[in-house]
Amino acid sequence: MGTSVLSLRIDGELLERLRHHASKRGMSVQDYVVQTLIRDDFDERFQTAVEETEKFYGVT
């Protein structure tokens, strides 16, 4: 798997909050944002899998 560059424009207040959250975890802002996106993507895929399983078994 290769890598790509994603450039974001965010306001200073949000950047400071991201820096704060990242530093509490001993991470760079970049690593913190990437981990957050990965976690969110996993949550969405997991929820979709749960919904599909419920449909399959007829759970409402």
Q: One digit per residue, pLDDT tens: the chain, 60 residues? A: 788 888 989 999 999 999 999 999 999 999 999 999 888 888 888 889 989 998 888 876
Confidence at residue 41, expressed as pLDDT on a 0 to 100 scale: 86
Domain boundaries, the chain: 30-60
Give CA angle at 39 (59, 19), nearest 5°: 145
Confidence at residue 30, expressed as pLDDT on a 0 to 100 scale: 93
Confidence at residue 60, expressed as pLDDT on a 0 to 100 scale: 60
What burial letters (b/e) apply to 40-57, b meaning 16+ CB within 10 Å? Answer: eeeeeeeeeeeeeeeeee
Which residues, 6 or more positions from 59, have their beta carbon under 8 angstroms from its beta carbon? 53
